[in-house]
A and B are shown apart, each in its own frame.
Chain A
Amino acid sequence: MTTYTICIFTENTIGLLNRITIIFTRRRINIESLTVSETERKGVSRFTIVIKHESRDEVEKLVRQIRKIVEVLAVFGYLNDEIVFNEIALFKISTPLKSKPLDVETINQHYKAWVVYWGLDYVVIEKTGNDTDIFDFFNYLKQYEILEFVRSGRVAVGKTEKGLVEYLPEAEWAYYL
């Protein structure tokens, strides 16, 4: 199984998320993570969808099926080495009186994670990084009581110098400025 990151640029309309995910479910492809946000262009949304698949051919077909949706402007399928990617995780750690003190120095300097909220008897730690970084940190934190753990989906940008603008004529791109 290879991990693919599919970046989809679309018009921002109601129901599009559904239209896109239908293409995955119909082919029984499980979505590992999914994030959506507006891009640097007004009215253009960017979906980042991570899937695992054994066949590159099938992923290419999937990309073409997504491209077929009327509101989709462009679709790119990437391997991990073709993108810079990250995700964010939040850990809620129990810190009652007399419990083992947190080693904030290690957390900050070794794991590059930060305490972002102090509750009465807990703290929230934020960690960004790729999935391996986050799981390393998760393993480190197991020595404490983890009350909650949540990871965001992956966000990614391609390593090539091309932006989306390369795939749309300038004149029409101006429509979204």
Chain B
Amino acid sequence: MEAIASIKPEVLEIQPAPTYINGSQALLMSLLAEGVDTIFGYPGGAIMPVYDALYDYQDQINHILVRHEQGAGHAAQGYARMQGRAGVCLVTSGPGATNLVTSIADALIDSTPMVCLVGQVAKKLLGTDAFQEADVMGVTMPITKWNYQITNADEVAEVISKAFYIAQAGRPGPVLIDITKSAQLELMTQPFSYEKCQTIVSYRPRLVPKQDQLEVAAQLINSAKKPYVLVGHGVQIAKAEDELQAFVEKTGIPVATTLLGQSTIPTNHPLYVGWLGMHGNYGPNVMTDHADLIIAIGMRFDDRVTGDASKYIKQAKVVHIEIDPSEIDKIIRADAPVVGDAKEVLKALLPLVNKNDHTVWRNEFRKYDAIENEVITEPALNNPEGKIRMPEVIDLLSKKTNGEAVLVTDVGQHQMMASRYYHFRRPNSLVTSGGMGTMGFALPAAFGAQVGAPDRQVVAIIGDGCFQMTLQELGTIVQNKQPVKAIILNNNFLGMVRQWQQLFHQRRYSFVELQNPDFITIARGFGMDGQTCTEREKLSEALDTMLNHDGPFLLEVIVEKEENVFPMVPAGTSVSQIRLS
């Protein structure tokens, strides 16, 4: 008894069991460890523990409250395209997650890195048709690069690090993490630690190309008489604009881009010939039929580029430089596939190719340019009478911004006109929904792009139909004081559908005419300035007003109702059947 009494009291004191952070805190600490400083989100029941934790991290993470989850997704896409890293969105279960679906599908097909964090009902409620329960894993499986359901707080750090790695590595894409409410609330059973994912055994995209593939490609390039480079989105994703220029300047090969490849190379570069596709330039489309070698870089031969693929570039050999091996031979068989990151491939290819000029071949493009100019461009830009036409607006905008703005376009005629008439001077300057063709993309994506590139002038070009799909995001723009400029090219029609109905359905205009609201009143209702321009004489002044306005601005331009976009390769025909009128 004596001995026990002599023990010092502090030794007897019971040590409390260590407590660790919960899943929500672990999620936020993981995001911070990943360098995330901006999240686009919308709260709701099943994600509330994360929002509660977020309250304490407001100084480190800028959470942007959107007006609809689709807006969060597109904003994250715009942000990701500007930053070259994953955009993050945070939404609740059920409808919150399903509202995100369109943007996820869009991000997959346009290879945009995105990490979607989605709440889910508690683990014990899974499969019980609980309130706001949807099988989001099942729904998003075909439209994500990877998805995973976290049911345990200890998993959070590892899964988040994997999510960011997968979203950004190789060919980027969207990743969705479904987090049960129970995992958000429960405490970890161990101290939090975060290790950035460097590699995954089962997913190791090849960046550096194989030497033998390079040599075969170089040999074809060196022996070609009429080589032609087609550049896709992959070059800008790989940030390989300089390498591309060095490559084409050494080899003297003409370059065309796809829709998403635009702005990779300045439009005034002597080797740039234009853009490809259904509404692309005349020469670049037709000349694919005359080349003896096609060098496709970071592009996937979309059907809007190839027209009838069975008749596309049959006469040419094909070098296909692509990071995703599943794209090789998918549409067009490659004689020399080179799997790798565009930057690495172009760097490695440069010393293997001969200096060349190809002046005669390059000049062949010019005669088509002259025709296109005479038949389409000149008349579109110089018409003293009638309503304003879309090309005039874009052309003037291009001049006023020196081709240095970030253009964010929606889907339809205005999208094609923006691509045709804007003269891009800086890389990474076009954000558009290419593969998915998502109407309503532009306004939230322009907001996200402005957040991601605060030093750049961001101008959204939007159709009157598209605008009404996501116009509630005006509220997000105003609340976050982002100086986004938005131009509505208003023709009171779903213009592209109307054009097809005119050309291919005997002018049977089936449900394409819109009774539009007063857009400027709507903007003002959100607290955003705006004005409408109806007269040609006032267009320049209106654009100046918009561009010089301090803060966001909506400019509505009333344009010719039944204008068509030409050239046009009618769907399912070969590119040689391109129509000029």
Contact = CB atoms under 8 A, between A and B. Distances in A.
A64 B300 CA distance: 14
Interface residues of B, number: 19
Contacts of A175: 201
B141 A61 contact: no
A19 B144 CA distance: 10
Interface in A57-90: 57, 60-61, 64-65, 67-68, 70-73
Contacts of A60: 329
Nearest to A57: B329
Contacts of A73: 201-202
A172 interface: yes
Contacts of A57: 329
Contacts of A10: 202
Contacts of B202: 10-11, 70-73
B506 interface: no
A168 B201 contact: yes
A65 B146 CA distance: 14
A45 to B, nearest CB: 11
Interface in B147-167: 147, 149, 166
Contacts of A65: 326
A137 B512 CA distance: 64
B145 interface: yes
B145 A61 contact: no
A10 B324 CA distance: 19
A61 B326 contact: yes
Interface residues of A, number: 22
Given A10-B202, A72-B202, A73-B201, A67 B141 contact: no
Contact of B141 (A11, A15, A172): A15
Nearest to A16: B141
B166 A70 contact: yes
Nearest to A11: B202
B55 interface: no
Interface string B132-146: 000001100110011
Interface string B287-326: 0000000000000000000000000000000000000111
A133 to B, nearest CB: 36
Interface in B475-490: none
B294 to A, nearest CB: 20
A65 to B, nearest CB: 5
B333 to A, nearest CB: 9
Given A10-B202, A67-B325, A70-B203, A15 B137 contact: yes
A110 interface: no
Contact of B146 (A61, A67, A70, A172): A70
Interface string B195-222: 0000011110000000000000000000
A143 B226 CA distance: 72
A29 B324 CA distance: 23
A18 B138 contact: yes
B8 interface: no
A65 B329 CA distance: 12
A11 to B, nearest CB: 6
Contact of B142 (A14, A22, A61, A70): A22
B326 A64 contact: yes
A63 B203 CA distance: 15
Contacts of A19: 141
B538 interface: no
Contact of A68 (B137, B200, B201, B326): B326
A70 B145 contact: yes
B330 interface: yes
Interface string A1-43: 0000000001100110011001000100000000000000000
A15 B328 CA distance: 27
B142 A26 contact: yes
A22 to B, nearest CB: 5
A173 to B, nearest CB: 9
Contacts of B149: 14-15
A64 B147 CA distance: 20
A19 B328 CA distance: 22
Nearest to A61: B330
A116 to B, nearest CB: 36
A60 B137 CA distance: 28
Nearest to A44: B202
Contacts of B326: 61, 64-65, 67-68
A70 B199 CA distance: 11
A26 B328 CA distance: 19
A64 B325 contact: yes
Nearest to B326: A64
Nearest to B138: A18
B288 to A, nearest CB: 22
Contacts of A67: 325-326
B553 to A, nearest CB: 43
Contacts of B166: 70
B194 to A, nearest CB: 20
B329 to A, nearest CB: 7
Nearest to B324: A68
Nearest to A175: B201
Nearest to A173: B201
Contacts of B145: 70
Contacts of B142: 22, 26
Interface in A88-147: none
Nearest to A73: B202
Interface in A149-177: 168, 172, 175
Contacts of A68: 324-326
B10 to A, nearest CB: 47
A70 B200 contact: yes
A60 B138 CA distance: 26
Given A61-B330, A70-B166, 12 more contacts: A14-B149, A15-B141, A18-B141, A22-B141, A26-B142, A61-B329, A64-B325, A67-B326, A68-B326, A70-B145, A71-B202, A168-B201
Leading 7 A-B pairs by shortest Cβ distance: A64-B326, A70-B203, A70-B146, A73-B202, A68-B326, A22-B142, A172-B201
Interface of A: 10-11, 14-15, 18-19, 22, 26, 57, 60-61, 64-65, 67-68, 70-73, 168, 172, 175
7 contacts: A14-B149, A64-B330, A68-B325, A70-B200, A73-B201, A168-B201, A175-B201
Interface of B: 137-138, 141-142, 145-147, 149, 166, 200-203, 324-326, 328-330
